[in-house]
């Protein structure tokens, strides 16, 4: 059996983001386990527009090329760890948007969130 492939999704794209700190901490711990493969997936590398498809990709194929590539990327993984910054009592818009652009690709795969913010990220997760 092949090793599970886990994505650590960086959920903030701000220039002065704190997200790199928890992301590197999670990656260091995860990479210490030889029985899993870990990849950091930075949303800065995925310039998804605000969701503007006719419907969820569960119901209609996405037309946007970046969205199509994003869906293929998400499909590569067996599970996910999201870093979730708290912006204005909620997770970041860019993280929510990235989640919205994929649908079936998330199905039946475990996911965890590491939230951070003014109240420990409680409102981000």
Domain span at residue 27 reads: 22-88+101-125
**CA separation, residue 112 to residues 7, 9, 57, 104 (Å):** 10, 10, 22, 17
Model pLDDT, residue 29: 97
Q: Quick check: 1 pLDDT over 80?
A: no
Instruction: For residue range 65-81, list pLDDT tens digits in order.
Output: 999 999 999 999 999 99
**CA separation, residue 108 to residues 16, 37, 71 (Å):** 34, 18, 15
Instruction: Specify the length of the chain in residues.
Output: 125
Answer whether residue 47 is part of any domain.
Answer: yes
Instruction: For residue range 5-39, list pLDDT tens digits in order.
Output: 999 999 999 999 999 999 999 999 999 999 999 99
b or e along 21-50 (b: 16 or more beta carbons within 10 Å of the residue's beta carbon)? ebbeebbeebeeeeeebbebbebeebebee
Count how many domains the chain has. Answer: 1
Answer whether residue 71 is part of any domain.
Answer: yes
What is the model's pTM? 0.94
Answer whether residue 64 is part of any domain.
Answer: yes
Model pLDDT, residue 65: 97
């Amino acid at each position: 059996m092949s090793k599970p492939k886990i994505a650590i999704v960086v959920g903030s794209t701000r220039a002065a983001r704190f997200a790199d700190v928890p992301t590197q901490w999670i990656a260091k711990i995860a990479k210490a386990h030889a029985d899993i493969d870990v990849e950091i997936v930075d949303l800065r590398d995925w310039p998804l527009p605000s969701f503007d498809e006719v419907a969820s990709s569960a119901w209609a194929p996405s037309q946007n090329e970046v969205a199509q590539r994003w869906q293929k990327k998400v499909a590569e993984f067996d599970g996910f760890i999201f870093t979730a910054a708290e912006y204005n009592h909620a997770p970041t818009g860019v993280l929510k948007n990235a989640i919205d652009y994929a649908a079936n690709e998330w199905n039946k795969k475990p996911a965890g969130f590491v939230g951070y913010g003014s109240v420990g990220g409680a409102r981000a997760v």
